[in-house]
Structure 1
Amino acid sequence: MVQRALNALSHSAFFAGVSESLMVHSARQVRRYFNEPDIRAAVQAEFAGRVTDRTELVVAHSLGTVVAYEALCAHPGWRDLTLITVGSPLGVRRLVFDRLLPTPHSDSARWPTPVKAWTNITDSGDAVALVKELAPAFGQRITDVSVHNGAQAHDVRPYLTARETGVTVAHALDRSRTSP
């Protein structure tokens, strides 16, 4: 019920400020990331410093999916890699989607150039990942996968230990070993 209410608020121009207070401003790290350019730049620099020419796979959770997406868009020269997002708020309009860099246009976000494959994994009860399917906004090349994390819908541990996540990681690493 809470998830439906937050989703409805995120689409309402009238309640955009209220839903922003509920979701973004209540989470200090998210608020700081979006509202403090120095914090955003430092986080982006930290992420960029971890990616090397040997990086084949990026797995990101929650706000980390925003960081990963923006960094991958900002570095089109990085080698081809696979992106796996879990519990991602990337598709939440007004609160996250509309604040992304680069700014989405016409309800469509830019595909991050270095990404050769992207799988988005969500739990139907995850209130942070209000938008379960990212393909409509980020490109039909995304594979959206649903998992069931039980009572810990947004917790990273059930996401990482889900069979679907393991299969996706194994497939990505196998693909990188067999591609020229």
Structure 2
Amino acid sequence: MARVVVVHGVGRQTAGPRALHRDLYPALLDGITAARDGEDDGLPGPDEVAFAFYGRLFRGPEEVLSPTPYADARDVGHGLESDLLAAWWQRAAAVDERVVPPDEEVLARSPRWAQRAVLALSRSRYFAPVGERVLIGDLKQVSAYLTDPAVRASVQQAVAAAVTPDTRVVVGHSLGSVVAYEALCAHPEWPVRSLVTLGSPLGLRQLVFPRLAAEPPGAWPGAVEAWTNVVDRGDVVAVEEDLRPLFGPRVRQVRVDNGARAHDLECYLTAAATGAAVLAGLGD
């Protein structure tokens, strides 16, 4: 029975719960070991860690040659999608000297602004390796979760299916932090003691925060006793690093250094700060 449940972020549509466990369970153990200064006795066993998987919802039809539906800057929708893209661009320019900052024309949404935004982000440390269609695909996954009730309900069901009476810690990365927060708000009866958010966009005041399925937005997540928010200074997705202005002073804010992989889940999991937060929730 899972004592720790990890909720992944965007871009995992070609994975699965077993593949995520195989690839990321060791990283979680490494973070716990780092928090213990190398001591590795009493680590959570494989059956005590589960990965709530919802990525398949965003996978294209089997007959499509690529599992990621093709999209480019021309497919960026008005409203939330364009606003998120602009927010990522502004954040990337603020933390990465290689990214040209947006000018007033772009912020006013000139006809070619999306192409210019994607071109600028393609120079960033985070987005450069993924390519345009993956960038736009990730953008659309965030938009779909926040605006499509059916998608949101299906994702929430995946989390609920992973949580057991033994679950004490929920870890949410990127969009998964939004999913985890909403799930805990909706289920105060769950025995979860600790929420750990990694590279979270929950602090986006105008785009994510007002769309949260919580009453009121900013409410404390259910019966959680401790909430630790872990952020890399260069994480483009975590546009607003500090969640305390929106969610209160009880949030423990921690900054880590993930190097060139600022938003990478594996890097966040291996951080001693993440391991310490998981240990605290487990009571170990």
Structure index of larger Rg: 2
CA deviations 1:12-48 (Å, max 9, x no partner) are xxx5989xx779x941211111121101011011111
1:135 aligns with 244
**Structure 1 134/16 Cα, relative in aligned 2: closer, same or farther at 3 Å?**
farther
1:51 aligns with 2:163: yes
1:99 aligns with 211
**Structure 1 174/77 Cα, relative in aligned 2: closer, same or farther at 3 Å?**
closer
Aligned residues: 165
1:151 aligns with 2:263: no
Q: Quick one: distance in 2 between partners of 1:6 and 1:110?
A: 29
1:74 aligns with 2:195: no
Q: Quick one: distance in 2 between partners of 1:168 and 1:5?
A: 30
8 Å CA contact 2:199–2:235 kept in 1: the answer is yes
2:283 aligns with 174
**Structure 1 71/122 Cα, relative in aligned 2: closer, same or farther at 3 Å?**
same
Moved over 3 A (4+): 4-9, 15-18
8 Å CA contact 2:169–2:192 kept in 1: the answer is no
Q: Quick one: distance in 1 between partners of 2:109 and 2:155?
A: 25
SS in 2 for 1:78: coil
Q: CA RMSD in A?
A: 2.9
Higher relative contact order (CA 8 A, sep 6+): 2
CA positional deviation for 1:80:
4.0
Q: Quick one: distance in 1 between partners of 2:229 and 2:163?
A: 20
8 Å CA contact 1:97–1:104 kept in 2: the answer is no
SS in 2 for 1:93: coil
CA deviations 1:65-95 (Å, max 9, x no partner) are 0000111111122124210000000011122
2:270 aligns with 161
**Structure 1 165/80 Cα, relative in aligned 2: closer, same or farther at 3 Å?**
closer
Q: Quick one: distance in 2 between partners of 1:101 and 1:157?
A: 27
1:113 aligns with 222
After alignment, is 145-154 or 70-79 more displaced? 70-79
Structure 2 residues not aligned, in runs of 5+ = 1-88, 96-100, 119-134
**Percent identity over paired residues:** 48
1:12 aligns with none
CA deviations 1:103-146 (Å, max 9, x no partner) are 546xxx11112211100000010010011111221121110000
1:42 aligns with 2:154: yes
1:89 aligns with 201
1:60 aligns with 172
**Structure 1 77/122 Cα, relative in aligned 2: closer, same or farther at 3 Å?**
same
Structure 1 residues not aligned, in runs of 5+ = 10-14, 176-180
Scaled by the length of structure 2, the TM-score of the pair is 0.52
Q: Quick one: distance in 2 between partners of 1:115 and 1:66?
A: 15
Q: Quick one: distance in 2 between partners of 1:103 and 1:153?
A: 31
8 Å CA contact 1:111–1:138 kept in 2: the answer is yes
Q: Quick one: distance in 1 between partners of 2:208 and 2:94?
A: 13
Amino acid at match of 1:3: R
Scaled by the length of structure 1, the TM-score of the pair is 0.80
